Structure 1
Amino acid sequence: MPELPSPVSAVDGRDGLDLSADVVELTRQLCDIPSESGAESRIADAVEAAVDALGHLRVLRFGNTVVARTELGRATRVAIAGHLDTVPINDNLPTRFVTVTEEDAAADVPGTRPGEYLWGRGTVDMKAGVATQLRVAASLAAPRHDVTWIWYDNEEVEASRNGLGLLSQVRPDLLHADFAILGEPTNGGVEGGCNGTLRADVRTHGRRAHSARAWAGVNAIHLAAPILERLADYEPATKRVDGLDYREGLNATRISGGVAGNVIPDLCTVHVNYRFAPSMSLDEACAFLESFFDGFDVEIVDRSPGARPGLDAGIARAFADAVGGEVRAKFGWTDVARFSALGVPAVNYGPGDPQKAHADDERVALDEIRSVERGLRAYLEDEA
């Protein structure tokens, strides 16, 4: 993939953001501020300073979460949110422009298109989405709906640290809206709702002994074989919810056990992730997992509910019609679930291929960034 010439940034200062810049250049500015989960203060400072200078937004700061609101007295309010953090950098910053050829695309993940891309950590997940939001927030002072823009921290880590979740606890009123949009990568299409997710530790217990006298112990790792057999035999269901098809998944993601090379292990833990359709409640999902691993020690260690698509709401359907394209199901979990729990219908809409999220060659198509900016603007512009 040959590199394209890199434009010179129009921004003065270490972390200044130029919200009047082309949305692709703004994406690059955002990505080039390192912001791994737990280290978002620099980028939050930059975003806060940029939107605070606009004048038409009321800006509030909660930790490293920035909220900017229009207060025009519109009959409806839309919440539009995006997270500022990324997974760890792995020699993929600073960003650069690359060209994906027909040959490159054929050798890459299914669905890759040839064209011009911005390469680097955060380009897909989800600085391009944040850039489109910031551009529209800056340039559209009088949208047809009042808008609450929310840019938050710690989305890529455990739910207890999630900035949007913490905001919902201290200021739930700021999440109240008639409709919500999350800028998660969707290839520039609309993805409704999301699957729920559970993580569990499934344990077996044995008895330690010297490995030269294995008969004196009970090998906990060997006892875990039926756990893996059940997982290997599991056939994931596809469930239709409000007209969209959600594919479920149940997988071991980590296994640990043993204390030394010559000791029969007395404990083995299989870490399992269950992705379930939003028609199932958290209690139902937990009950399924405990039944599936009946006979084993099961501890649910993290849980997040799914979100129904909410496309039966007129305001949500109007958004899908405004941006065009087919509405699909979101297989992964996203923070649309936090809005759904408050009774707010929510969808995912952002540039970038989700298959490239967190990848070392993470990259976003330039035309998708511009397309999503146009889509948001078309939805929010006053028709008068």
Structure 2
Amino acid sequence: MKQEFVDLVDKLVAFRSVASQPSEKRLVLEFAEKWFKENNITTKWFDSKNSPSLLATVKGLEKKTVVLVAHLDVVPAPDKMFITRVEGDKIFGRGVLDNKGCAAILMLVLKRLKKIDQKHPTVKLLLTTDEEEGGFEGVGKIIKMKNILKPDAVFIPDGGGENLIVTKEKGAIHLLADFRGKAAHGSRPWEGVNALDRGWEFLNALKKEINYNEKTIKNKWKSTISLGRVEGGEAINQVPDLAEFGIDIRFTEEVDPVELLKFIKKKIKKIGRIKKIILVDRFQSDEKDKIIMLYQKTVNNYFKGRVNFGFGHGASDARHFNNLGVPVWLHYPKGGEHHGDNEWISIDSVEKMIYALVDFFSNLRKSDF
């Protein structure tokens, strides 16, 4: 099984399916579609100008449906990262953890479910190509289509860790704003208004509004602010009259996003303009839900140490299922440095997860929901 995974993820990683190359997104899905066909698994294609999706289905006799979600788009990387390499128990490459390796896991799980008795629920795997851009064309659009997914439970291997099941994630606001000032000579700053200073003043007001404290925030379930982009000024000896700030806000249930948006708009209206603002909802599921607890019990039989429940600082496609009232959880194998230059996943951990997932899904019955 390990070699089968290594071979499959190697082929998936080879596609440069980044946001700027929609043709590669299509090609990686076409590869997956061909793979499913070779394994007698039915598929349905969802077209989109830049971000198509593919739904694979293994029908079961139980009148329940579990939806699995993984994404085949990745963030940009040097060319060498689109060629996998194996070092001991680790396989390296762009997307091996986030999220092509996890997509390969689910593909291999479906292959095995197809070969056993069909007493389990119907299992659907949705492969998308826009999660890194917000998931609006993929899960966000498909979830609204009638009689397509119809999930009774949703599993997404796009967060957590070998010993961590994620049942809640922070929401996000991505803000790009211009701040206006008045130009002046650098030797006479009192004659101008520094646009960069206005940006910093806004940033500090924003931190105060959500009670953000950098010194106490490390790895806690608290709202955060990160300044990701600053641009302003034409010359060292000139007071800048325009500055652009890109700000990443992550919020917990302690922050009302509607009220925070009102605060942001009111503050910026007086000193600049909002160029772009994106709101991403929080995600939260009940870790005491019957099926989630059953999942925890199953995976505890395969991984060393107890698999606990926790939270994620980032955002995923899980939030798109918020209004369906069904259990949703995230869990993936041991790995690290996703979006980094040495992204990796443990092959041994992958094998354990495949066995655990086949065990879990094949033994699910209607009474477990």
Question: Please, what TM-score do these two structures have when normalized by structure 2?
Answer: 0.81
Partner of 1:148: helix, strand, or coil?
strand
Quick one: which of 74, 82, 85 aligns to 1:96? 85
Cα distance in 1 for residues equivalent to 2:192 and 2:254? 45
Cα distance in 2 for residues equivalent to 1:258 and 1:172? 51
Quick one: which of 307, 315, 327 aligns to 2:291? 315
Compared CA separation, residues 187 and 292, structure 1 to 2 (3 A): farther
1:201, distance to aligned residue in structure 2 (A): 3.3
1:234, distance to aligned residue in structure 2 (A): 2.5
| 128-137 or 254-263: bigger deviation | 254-263
Compared CA separation, residues 309 and 288, structure 1 to 2 (3 A): farther
Compared CA separation, residues 264 and 174, structure 1 to 2 (3 A): same
- Which AA in structure 1 matches 2:281? P
| 228-237 or 182-191: bigger deviation | 228-237
Partner of 2:157: 183
Question: Is 1:204 the counterpart of 2:179 in the alignment?
Answer: yes
Quick one: which of 53, 69, 83 aligns to 1:81? 69
Kept in 2: contact 1:180–1:345 (CA 8 A) = yes
Cα distance in 1 for residues equivalent to 2:312 and 2:108? 25
Partner of 1:103: none
Partner of 1:223: 198
Partner of 1:303: helix, strand, or coil?
strand
Partner of 1:348: 330
Partner of 1:40: 25
Q: How does 1:247-326 map to 2 (within 5 A)?
A: 247-260=222-235, 263-278=238-253, 282-287=257-262, 297=272, 299=274, 301-324=277-300, 325-326=307-308
Identity of aligned residues (%): 21
Partner of 1:367: 348
1:346, distance to aligned residue in structure 2 (A): 0.9
Cα distance in 2 for residues equivalent to 1:374 and 1:291? 53
- Which AA in structure 2 matches 1:359? G
1:363, distance to aligned residue in structure 2 (A): 1.0
**Any gaps of 5 or more consecutive residues in structure 2?**
301-306
Question: Is 1:117 the counterpart of 2:95 in the alignment?
Answer: no
What are the Cα deviations for residues 150-173 of structure 1, in whole angstroms up to 9, with x where unaligned? 00112112454x42223234x253
Cα distance in 2 for residues equivalent to 1:261 and 1:179? 57
- Which AA in structure 1 matches 2:213? E
Compared CA separation, residues 176 and 294, structure 1 to 2 (3 A): same
Partner of 2:120: helix, strand, or coil?
coil
Compared CA separation, residues 280 and 332, structure 1 to 2 (3 A): same
Cα distance in 2 for residues equivalent to 1:226 and 1:46? 50
Partner of 1:22: 4
Cα distance in 1 for residues equivalent to 2:93 and 2:42? 32
Partner of 2:132: helix, strand, or coil?
coil
Partner of 1:177: helix, strand, or coil?
coil
Question: Is 1:69 the counterpart of 2:57 in the alignment?
Answer: yes
1:307, distance to aligned residue in structure 2 (A): 1.0
- Which AA in structure 1 matches 2:56? A
Cα distance in 2 for residues equivalent to 1:320 and 1:279? 28
Kept in 2: contact 1:190–1:347 (CA 8 A) = yes
1:229, distance to aligned residue in structure 2 (A): 4.1
Partner of 1:168: 143
- Which AA in structure 2 matches 1:283? V
**Any gaps of 5 or more consecutive residues in structure 1?**
1-18, 100-115, 240-244
Partner of 2:319: helix, strand, or coil?
helix
Question: Is 1:382 the counterpart of 2:363 in the alignment?
Answer: yes
1:253, distance to aligned residue in structure 2 (A): 1.5
Q: How does 1:318-337 map to 2 (within 5 A)?
A: 318-324=294-300, 325-337=307-319
Cα distance in 2 for residues equivalent to 1:332 and 1:123? 18
Question: Is 1:235 the counterpart of 2:220 in the alignment?
Answer: no
1:293, distance to aligned residue in structure 2 (A): 7.9
1:216, distance to aligned residue in structure 2 (A): 4.0
What are the Cα deviations for residues 220-278 of structure 1, in whole angstroms up to 9, with x where unaligned? 11333323545498227999xxxxx7333122121122245554322223222111125
Q: How does 1:119-138 map to 2 (within 5 A)?
A: 119-138=92-111
Compared CA separation, residues 313 and 294, structure 1 to 2 (3 A): farther
Partner of 2:304: none
What are the Cα deviations for residues 16-46 of structure 1, in whole angstroms up to 9, with x where unaligned? xxx9962233222222233223331111001
Compared CA separation, residues 118 and 360, structure 1 to 2 (3 A): same
Cα distance in 2 for residues equivalent to 1:211 and 1:383? 70
Cα distance in 1 for residues equivalent to 2:200 and 2:263? 20
- Count of residue pairs brought into register by the alignment: 341
Cα distance in 2 for residues equivalent to 1:358 and 1:156? 10
Compared CA separation, residues 178 and 364, structure 1 to 2 (3 A): same
Partner of 2:147: helix, strand, or coil?
helix
Compared CA separation, residues 275 and 308, structure 1 to 2 (3 A): same
Cα distance in 2 for residues equivalent to 1:329 and 1:314? 19
